[in-house]
Amino acid sequence: MTAPDRRALLVAVAALALGAAPAGAQTWRTLDVSRQLHDSGALQVKVQYGAGRLDLHAAATRVLYDMRLRYDAERTEPLHAFTQNPRVLRLGVRKQNVKVPSDRNPAEMRLDLADAVPMELSLELGAVEADLDLTRLRLHRLDVRTNASEATLRFDSPNPEPMTSMRLDVGAASLKALRLANANAEEISVDAGVGNVDLDFGGEWRRDMSVDVEVSLGVAHLRVPSDVGVRVEVRKALGSFEHDGLEKRDGAYYSENWDTARHRLRIRAEATLGKVEVEHR
């Protein structure tokens, strides 16, 4: 073996011994971080997550939060910061390469939040497969922004706090929202963009609700229980509106039980090139 060959071999062995990785390699790590619950003061929670799998639930123990991350240290910087005044909690990742499709990305985040703290919850998601179980959380306000994600959010029991507003902003994504009556929200705003949105208004109705839906190229499907009165105002450019058994009068569409229903849902919809569907059964 020549001297140059020996030097090249020694460099390669040294690189392996030091754990050197080629450019673009992935360094997977795990992080488990939590904070004890010291009081029940109102809190703003801001979550940002770019790519991978996200599971969010109410905590089973008395913690303010419990976050578990599996992340690529080469591309991701974990985020967990709490300020007392104002009370703001920031969780997730600061940076992330979102070019890796989520179905092949082993990155994971599991987040448990306190169910004893009134909160405003904001989620900003990229190429994420998300299961957002908001059951038992005391939500005053909810803001969900998704990009290329496939997300499901649900309320399996009534929100103990009156929610002033819920905003769902869906880009080129798919979002399914289940049992929205349990959210106890007064107003819901949905921007479907070019994505597909499925809104289920099942659950326990405690108040009348209104929802604004804007669809560009996507589809918004709204499912409303038959005992809830429905009124729809719709504006269409080149989009379409499909409904199940609603009657048009005075420039709007009404369900047969609008005048007699105990609870009512008012829908204001705008479809540019997309489609709005209302199912009342």
| Mean predicted confidence (pLDDT) in 76-90 | 93
| pLDDT exceeds cutoff 80 at 66 | yes
Residue 12 has pLDDT above 80, yes or no: no
Residue 41 sits at φ, ψ, to 5 deg, of -70, 150
In CATH, the architecture of 42-280 is: 3 Solenoid (2.160)
Q: Is 278 exposed, middle or buried (0-12, 13-18, 19+ CB in 10 A)?
A: buried
Q: Let me know if 225 is exposed, middle or buried by CB neighbors in 10 A (0-12, 13-18, 19+).
A: middle
What CA–CA distance (Å, rounded) separates 90 from 216?
A: 31
pLDDT band at 108 (very low <50, low <70, confident <90, very high): very high
Most confident of 18-22, 23-27, 125-129: 125-129
Query: Among 16-30, 96-110, 263-277, which stretch is predicted with the lowest mean pLDDT?
Result: 16-30
Instruction: Report the pLDDT averaged over residues 141-164.
Output: 95
The span from the CA of 223 to the CA of 255, in Å, is 13
Task: Check residues 94 and 99 and name the one with the higher pLDDT.
Answer: 94
Residue 94 pLDDT exceeds 80: yes
Mean pLDDT of the chain: 88
| Residues 122 and 143 sit within 8 Å (Cβ to Cβ) | yes
Contact 253, 218 (CB under 8 A): no
Domain boundaries, the chain: 42-280
pLDDT for 59: 96
Read off the pLDDT of each residue in 211-222 and give the average, rounded to a whole number: 94
Q: Are strands 264-271 and 196-200 parallel, antiparallel or unpaired?
A: unpaired
Mean local confidence (pLDDT), 266-273: 94
pLDDT of residue 10: 33
CB atoms within 10 A of CB 202: 15
Q: What is the pLDDT of residue 96?
A: 56
pLDDT of 106 reads 84
Q: Once rounded to an integer, what is the mean pLDDT over residues 243-255?
A: 92
Check: CB of residue 271 under 8 Å from CB of residue 235.
yes
Of all residues in the chain, the percent with pLDDT exceeding 70 is 87
**How would you class 216 by CB atoms within 10 Å of its CB: exposed for 0-12, middle for 13-18, buried for 19 or more?**
middle
User: What's the pTM value of the predicted model, to 2 decimals?
Assistant: 0.85
Q: CA 22 to CA 223: how far, in whole Å?
A: 51
Name the pLDDT band for 97 (thresholds 50, 70, 90): low
pLDDT above 50: residue 237 = yes
